[in-house]
Chain A
Amino acid sequence: MRLPLHELRWLKRAALDSNRPLESLVQRRLNHEPLQYIIGTQPFGPLHNLRVRPPVLIPRPETEDWVIRLAEHLSSSFSGRPLSLLDLGTGSGCIPLLLCHLCPNIVATGIDISPHATRLANENAEVCGIPHFRFKAFLGDFVHPGFPKAEAISPPYDVLTSNPPYITPDDYLRLSDDVAKFEDPTALIGGSDGLAFYRAIASLVARQGFLSPKATVALEVDHSQAEIVSDMLSPAGFKTSIWLDPWGKKRTVIAQRQ
């Protein structure tokens, strides 16, 4: 394997910045460790120093793209009134933190089942200068029936976002080492058909009083399942649309309560 020149330059800079020998960084990369874990950060929109750490899912460019678009959407449709946001499976905290950064009227809560994730997300809030009263990540299992009653949860929410695990077990076995060997499988595998977490989310948002009357739901999806996820939300009285990612793939289901 040969390292692309750009990766080599980024590793050089990281070696210099963190006073680590370049050789060991390159060796790690040659062993397929994701570049972002080696460097320790991944820029996400204008958040330049978002920290990443194994095994927490590394933010993807597709996610960056739709979150920036969502921020514009929220600013124009809610025109600055205070919004409370819930992010399910928050991982590094990238989604709620970028939304907090871009929309000063948002106060957000992140939920994750992994203590690695909640620790990292809270750390990232500090790195990004988002104070505690605007974002906090909590341990929680949003598939659990008792979840809506959890202490950290205070409905109604105006915005619900999630990039839940959506890879099927079959697909998981075909993933390249960069992903499969280093990132947390619990952040990737979405049950036997890749849809388990969307079912849980659909039943959550259908609950009386969980979302505010004009709430927005934004869910990242596998490109082959956008319509199915969209159909799951329709019975709960949502008008849905599907956003394409920069590569032309169906990537985000946006649901607006009428």
Chain B
Amino acid sequence: MSDATFTPSVNQNLRALTDLLGDSFDLIVRELDATGIKACTVSFDGLCDEMKITEAILKPLTAKDAPKTRPGTLFETIRERLFKGTDVKTVYTAVDAARAALGGALVLLAEGEAAALVFSVQGYPRRAVGEPQSEQNEKGSQEGFCDNFKDNVSLLRRRLRTPALATELLTMGETTATPVVLCWLRGRADEAMLAQVRKRLRSAKLDAVLGAGYLRPFLDGRRPSLFKGTGVTERPDTLAAMLTEGRVGIIVDGTPYAVVVPYLFIDHFHTVDDYLSGPFYAFFMRALRVACVVIAATLPGFFVAVCVFHPEIIPADIMFDIAEAESKTPFPLMAEALIIHLIYEVVREAGLRMPVAIGHAVSIVGALVIGDTAVTAGLIGAPMLIVVALTAVCSSVGVRLHETVSLIRFALILIGGLTGLYGVMLFSGLMLTDLCAVAPFGVPYSAPVSPFVGPAQRDTVWRAGWKKLGRSILTVKEMKFE
């Protein structure tokens, strides 16, 4: 793109701008006589609010009683007399003007002005604020983030009505020029951490940024790990709560999620409802979620390892039943576990991608054909099916850890089938070390459990009552290691 600055010639400026924007069918160029000066507007059809353009810009500019101006003074008149209070910016290069037009603004060029005025008249179609899809709750707000970053920031501001809420706009992606908003609470977020977030985002030299997922690898540490120090939330109230804990939020235009850093392991087990219920029930639910994630990750692997290598561990009656059921199937237990889990993942993926209307068919195929028929036909043992069903239900509880849990589950089935409990425990130890090694922005991922942070224990698996919880604020900064 040319970096040339505008000249006083409107024709020359228009040519420079249209050269950059190309011959798009939706490019609208209007020539007009604005208060006696030759001028033109440039905008894109569908990105601007046409009503706003006509009523708020074109009508006042072309009105018969509009004050007459001389070339070179139009923009001054507009700023001082016509559009006081309107969001108007002046840009001096064709590149900046083109970017503004592509962002849904109206660009005004005029004879005698070596600049362009940019009017914020965005009016493109956008998805309305709706219910969060993956973080549904019972007692809290039903508002979730939508695709537009400005709407998302306003959703956040409505929950954090404090001047301490700071936002910073970055533009990312060479081609897409995607708006990315950093948000944090002044005085709570660690400045060093914030600087590091900015540095890492700026180091992301990407051509296109079409979602928050493009940026997360740059925010995660360099060391490859199954556990990520960044998390996402679809809920403005969750993001607001996390900002009060000194974290940094990243809102990317076009993504109905906000990225949160640092995101700790324990955060995967917290929901909004926990804070709206009684502490005992919240504790019970959190403990249940932890247990479900552990079961979802390890149960199939343990089952295969124990049945194949250490049957003496299982009570005799149960063992005989398992042995009888498995003796009728043609596959070894490990292969059976792998196949049935693979089918489960396929059914899950199909359910996720296909239209809702066809979803019922998948359920029927999954439940009847794969479940019932496979057992009746003697392809799969009933105990294995029970294990898979339990695993599937449990993995739905810990949905935010699904990717990690799925990979660990498959690895454990393989390892358990080949090396028994020995390999399973060894791999579990390795995973635990991996989890403990992750430290997003200096905060240990395993905190506040290990390292043990006493004051933070009021909101881990146990949640203290609001009388205690509201007494003081604990930020992630206090969990940072030196």
Q: Is chain B found bound to chain A in the same assembly? A: no
Chain B residues with CB under 8 Å of chain A are: none
